[in-house]
């Protein structure tokens, strides 16, 4: 089928009139009629038509099978948000709300008897702590549902012989990280850096003045964060050299926005662990084996 034939077939199958489709696209019914008889819509309307009928663009042109894959449909729905009207902040909220609903859908879908989507429960701050958990031999998924403390974790079991045991093996660097974070002064420093906006940096003297932490301790902590912690990779804390009016260099620090959420996520998960749920809105446990093989933990460090 060509484009016009595909469009007409989809419209009739979905019992949509030319007027209804035209209203959705912001065009006239005559325009839709012309498309079905050989002409083509403007390029920016093609994705909207595909999203409307939940098919791929290639399908509209007769180049592939009936429906887009589930993954492609998700991409279509999420990307369509950015083409809606509204401020950037409003669109971001719509995007994150949609992702949150999709994650809840993954939790529901772990039951083989599940057929329909239903909204996740809304738990107020004062309510009993509730979560959703999927515990399979092949992976783990945990969704915290408390209002303003929502988080999501997905772990897929590694396919190699060494499964979840790998996370218990060489923990030297991880234990040092938690040791650094257990220091309240260090948390005060990193907490202040997280108050800085995009492009904002703070000098050592500013950090010292605001946090009331000794400069020597600040230097030691930031040296760990910008050098040892990164191990030649991305830096969680950024360090730049500033040239003063006197020609002398001084260092300034900020947060790498691309990695910033990881740090918050660590504390969100830790809080979920030390304040475990008092109940589960949904729990699917189908695990036959222990989390780790004792024989594989002999080299733990």
b/e burial code for range 128-167 (CB count within 10 A of at least 16 → b): eebbbbbeeeeebbbbbbbeeeebbeeeeeeeeeebbbee
Distance, CA of 197 to chain centre: 20
Grade residue 67 by pLDDT with cuts at 50, 70 and 90. low
For residues 178 and 253, membership in a common domain is answered with yes
Indicate whether 247 pLDDT > 90. no
Distance, CA of 143 to chain centre: 13
pTM of this structure: 0.73
Indicate whether 66 pLDDT > 60. no
In a domain, 105, yes or no: yes
For residues 255 and 285, membership in a common domain is answered with no
For residues 137 and 201, membership in a common domain is answered with no
Strands across the sheet with 249-255, in order? 202-203, 249-255, 237-243
In a domain, 268, yes or no: no
For residues 99 and 243, membership in a common domain is answered with no
For residues 149 and 188, membership in a common domain is answered with no
In a domain, 32, yes or no: yes
Please state, rounded to an integer, the average pLDDT across all residues of the chain.
88
Could you tell me the maximum CA-CA distance found in the chain, to the nearest angstrom?
76
In a domain, 142, yes or no: yes
CATH number, domain with residue 24: 1.10.260.40
Which range marks the domain in which residue 258 is found?
172-262
Alpha carbon distance 83, 45 (integer Å): 11
Alpha carbon distance 224, 242 (integer Å): 20
In this structure, are residues 218 and 208 in contact, taking their beta carbons and an 8 Å threshold? yes
For residues 253 and 226, membership in a common domain is answered with yes
254: which strand partners?
238
For residues 134 and 282, membership in a common domain is answered with yes
Per-residue model confidence (pLDDT) at position 299? 62
Question: Is the alpha carbon torsion for 153, 157, 160, 165 positive or negative?
Answer: positive
Which tens digit of pLDDT belongs to each residue from 209-222?
A: 999 999 999 999 99
Among 53, 81, 109, identify where a domain stops.
81
Please name the residues in contact with 298: beta carbons below 8 A apart, sequence gap of 6 or more: none
In a domain, 301, yes or no: no
Among 47, 81, 115, identify where a domain stops.
81
User: Closest Cα to residue 32, out of 14, 45, 51, 18?
Assistant: 18
The domain tally of the chain equals 3
For residues 176 and 162, membership in a common domain is answered with no
């Amino acid at each position: 089928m060509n484009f016009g034939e595909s469009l007409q077939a989809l419209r009739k199958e979905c019992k949509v009139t030319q007027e209804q489709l035209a209203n959705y696209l912001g065009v006239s019914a005559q325009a839709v009629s012309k498309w079905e008889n050989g002409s083509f819509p403007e390029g920016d309307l093609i994705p909207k038509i595909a999203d409307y009928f939940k098919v791929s663009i290639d399908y509209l042109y007769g180049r592939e099978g009936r429906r887009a894959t589930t993954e492609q449909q998700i991409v279509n729905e999420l990307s369509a948000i950015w083409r809606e009207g509204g401020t950037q902040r409003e669109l971001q909220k719509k995007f994150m709300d949609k992702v949150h609903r999709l994650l809840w859908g993954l939790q529901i879908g772990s039951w083989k008897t599940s057929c329909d989507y239903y909204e996740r429960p809304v738990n107020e701050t004062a309510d009993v702590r509730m979560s959703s958990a999927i515990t399979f031999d092949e992976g783990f998924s945990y969704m915290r549902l408390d209002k303003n403390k929502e988080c999501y974790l997905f772990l897929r079991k590694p396919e190699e012989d060494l499964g979840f045991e790998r996370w218990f093996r060489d923990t030297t660097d991880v234990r040092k990280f938690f040791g650094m974070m257990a220091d309240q002064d260090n948390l005060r420093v990193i907490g202040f850096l997280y108050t800085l906006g995009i492009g904002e940096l703070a000098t050592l003297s500013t950090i010292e003045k605001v946090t009331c932490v000794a400069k020597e301790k600040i230097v030691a902590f930031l040296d760990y964060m910008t050098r040892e912690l990164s191990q030649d990779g991305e830096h969680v804390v950024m360090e730049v050299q500033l040239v003063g009016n006197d020609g002398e260099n001084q260092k300034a620090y900020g947060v790498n926005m691309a990695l910033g959420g990881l740090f918050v996520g660590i504390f969100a998960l830790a809080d979920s662990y030390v304040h475990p749920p008092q109940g589960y809105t949904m729990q699917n446990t189908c695990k036959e084996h222990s989390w780790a093989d004792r024989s594989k933990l002999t080299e733990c460090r």
